[in-house]
Amino acid sequence: MRSDSVTKGMQQAPHRSLFNALGMTEEELNRPLVGIVSSYNEIVPGHMNLDKIVAAVKQGVAMAGGTPIVFPAIAVCDGIAMGHIGMKYSLVTRDLICDSTECMALAHAFDALVMVPNCDKNVPGLLMAAARLNIPTVFVSGGPMLAGHIKGKKRSLSSMFEAVGSYSAGTMTEDDVREFENKVCPTCGSCSGMYTANSMNCLTEAIGMGLGGNGTIPAVYSERIKLAKHAGMKVMELLEKNIRPRDIMNEKAFMNALTVDMALGCSTNTMLHIPAIAHEAGVELNVDIANEISKKTPNLCHLAPAGPTYMEDLNEAGGVYAVMKELTKKNLLYTDLITATGKTVGENIENAVNRNPEVIRPLENPYSETGGLAILKGNLAPDSGVVKRSAVVPEMMKHQGPARVFDCEEDAIAAIKGGKIVAGDVVVIRYEGPKGGPGMREMLNPTSAIAGMGLGSSVALITDGRFSGASRGASIGHVSPEAAVGGPIALVEEGDIISIDIDNCRLDVLISEEEMEKRRAKWQPREPKVTTGYLARYAKLVTSGNRGAILEMK
């Protein structure tokens, strides 16, 4: 056991004296030490219930013969951080979470780990840590929020942001907005649509690191507590069998995750997180492969913001396993891979049933024959850009319009809410990438303002930043290379015609190469927006969006 280095032998007597200070018994020290990484805090709605999840995990570990020991991980609420300097600190926490978990796990010689995340960056950050550490590990999240109910319709956080845009457009009153404010987020949990947190929790099942139901069982259901107890028990089985994260998260498992991603219609942020997790697992994953997978993977789900269904509906319909079972009808998944259940993918989904073909479309009747995400390339995005194709209205799948150029999110929001953006425009927000932001802010405020003002079917938005999973419409993010390093998005001028062709995976600015070269020769790097603290260090180390915004020594 790894923990023998702190619990066994005369040389470890000083270590044991410190365990004695913790009140630990000899019996506890003779059992495997299982670290429980708790993302609990009192500021993130998706994390306020994690103390109960952690208590259940501890019980499960103890029942199965282990000694559970809790240590923390930080978490940022993307919704609360949205639209101000706080959003610069969202993506960057992914690496802090990974690094700090590595430090704690190795410093204290844990034999196994149970990860308890829930919201946007905690899930990928802890998956990265699991891959890096390669200690037997299982995931159990806090679960999704229930949808709100307003005037007989289910609603979620994206509806709230769009309500603010509708108020600016004069189509909603202050009382209307207040009703949304009080009803869209009725319980704890990760926000109720197929946003980034729920996307990543679902993909934790698809990649094999979470138990069945981890992505979909609502936070307030007692079934979630039972799942947490089983996760605590299961990690002891993984330890006994020596099944480790890199046994589970191999190249084929990442292909499975991308395939399920396409079928579910997940957040564009998965195109940042999956390559970063793969990198830690020793698998180099080029996002271009997403289009190859998308071509053969039908989109089976239209959860909010793409459609009117929510995570609770997906759960009742059979959850992620039911989606995976549909995909096996065309042999689209590798089913012989080992998972954190101790069983193979095929064994996990053998008895899965699609209980609602309106929520999970059968493979014979998909929303589209291609997947929910698309990687775009062209002279505006030589490396790549990404769009949630399943959340784009048909009339915007192919679009040309004049560029309305802004060098930060705030200026774009002011123009949108000031009525300066009109049908046909293409809003370009740049210098918001991983380096330029720094931190690659989400653009939920501008996309919501566009939708709320009735322009969602006629205005596109392109950025080297990224989007919340709650964004919908022709929202193209992660444009790489980013403006801060002189990518073509830095060379776009007001009024240039932008051509978007999502079906053919193209993103271009309609100027000649000669004109592009003239502009490139004149371009000068901007002074960094932040010169001190963690963001400054992050900006020096971070790579582009198409590489997952991983940190890399230069």
Catalytic option among 39, 294, 384, 468: 468
Supply angle C-alpha 319, 322, 326, rounded to 5.
145
Q: From CA 427, how far away is CA 406, in angstroms rounded? A: 8
Helix or strand holding residue 478 (H, E): strand 475-480
Q: From CA 7, how far away is CA 498, in angstroms rounded? A: 64
Q: From CA 208, how far away is CA 225, in angstroms rounded? A: 20
H-helix segments, 418-482: 444-452
Tell me 116's DSSP state.
Answer: E
Following CA atoms 413, 417, 418, 422 in sequence, which dihedral angle do they give, to the nearest 10 degrees?
90
Burial of 468 (0-12, 13-18, 19+ CB in 10 A): buried
H-helix segments, 281-327: 289-296, 311-317, 319-327
Q: From CA 508, how far away is CA 521, in angstroms rounded? A: 20
Q: From CA 54, how far away is CA 48, in angstroms rounded? A: 11
Name 299's Cβ contacts closer than 8 Å, sequence gap at least 6: 262, 263, 265, 366, 367, 368, 370, 371, 372, 389, 390
Name 462's Cβ contacts closer than 8 Å, sequence gap at least 6: 380, 385, 426, 427, 428, 429, 476, 477, 479, 489, 498, 500, 507
Tell me whether residue 294 is one of the annotated catalytic residues.
no
Q: How far is CA 411 from CA 167, 231, 396, 443, 496, in A?
A: 19, 46, 24, 12, 19
Residues labelled catalytic: 468
